[in-house]
Amino acid sequence: MKLLIKISISFLIISINAIQVTGQEYYIRTKGGQIITERGNFISMCLTSLHKDSRDETAYEICSCEAIKVDHHFSYQQYKRHTKDGLIDLNGLFKEDSTFEKEIEACYTNSGKTVLIQAEGFQDKFVTNCMKNLQKNSIKELDSNRLYNFCSCQMDLFKTKQISDEEVKLLQNPNSLFFYEMISKCGNPFSDDERDKKNWNRDAIKDIIGPDSDTIGVLSMNGMTYLKAKTGNMVQVWLFDTGASDLLINNDMEQTLKNQKILNDSNYIGVGIYEMANGVTDSCRKYKMNNIRVGKFTVNNVVVAVTDKGKKIIIGRSLLNKFGNWILDNKKSVLILSK
């Protein structure tokens, strides 16, 4: 038997040869009662199209649901119109009745395991769709190998945890445990650097010039912590934010640094999407910047993002993660940085 396979609906092609055996419950029949095929044959082919067998309870329930709905629904003439060389194209048959087509699809979607079935039975399609969706959500061209590895890892995670459709929705919540479990195991598909998967790596010490350790005074105000840093010829007070991924500057500061030849096309690395503290996302220009001076340290190769939506400048993890240790001592109002 030839199969037409579609993930969202099991589109099958079955034999139209009538079977002259009594026992209506064993057959798929026309609206007028004529036998089309054995019900077990229909279910078996449905399972095959899902790359499953009868031991999979979810898949078996889906196919049994479809068999019940198809039975006594279409007329013999409808079957005949979609029959060629003794085979019925159920794809075309279902399209004759859009309401019924939705009922058939509901057998699949109501299972609550559609994503898992795709991950287990249609692995190439799962990874391809995952990669397309990630690329669609990025304004820059993403690395195909990184996307493939991430999507393959995500697929394996879904299969290992036997994830339900409801649990997949948790991935839309960046504060959920499942979201962080996936990112920690599979990495960040939007990252520019493999090292971003870790908080610190041994190569980072190459980007720091200065002593082994330094204690730097900070300013606490209105529940926030501020740190003095120098970029170019500007000494400014930055908001110290351990939740920010990169350094954030405003467009006025960007222009000043360009005038000083510190930011230019050679260290521009593209555009990144950032979520601000108020939940609003912002498309920010990104640079790799050198000679950022904090205390007795000079730090190089630090990612700096430029926002057009605010004035406050922020020191985030792209600088802090260069250091092996950092401690914010609230009692003494100091920041201790160590290689």
pLDDT of residue 2: 35
Range with the lowest mean pLDDT among 228-237, 256-265, 266-275, 316-325? 266-275
Residue 116 has pLDDT above 60, yes or no: yes
pLDDT of residue 15: 45
Look at 138 and 148; give whichever has higher pLDDT: 148
Confidence of residue 290 (pLDDT cuts 50, 70, 90): very high
Q: How far apart are CA 204 and CA 165, in angstroms?
A: 40
Range with the lowest mean pLDDT among 58-67, 171-180, 195-204, 302-311? 195-204
pTM listed for this prediction = 0.58
Nearby residues of 214 by Cβ (< 8 Å), 6 or more positions away: 295, 296, 297, 336, 337
| Structural domains present in the chain | 13-111 (no CATH), 118-190 (no CATH), 204-338 (2.40.70.10)
Residue 178 has pLDDT above 60, yes or no: yes
- Beta-bridge partners for 226: 219, 239
Look at 80 and 139; give whichever has higher pLDDT: 80
Mean pLDDT of the chain: 84
pLDDT of residue 280: 61
Residue 19 has pLDDT above 50, yes or no: no
Residue 133 has pLDDT above 80, yes or no: yes
pLDDT tens, residue by residue, 37-91: 889 988 988 898 899 999 999 999 999 999 999 999 999 999 989 888 877 888 8
Range with the lowest mean pLDDT among 72-76, 146-150, 193-197, 282-286? 193-197
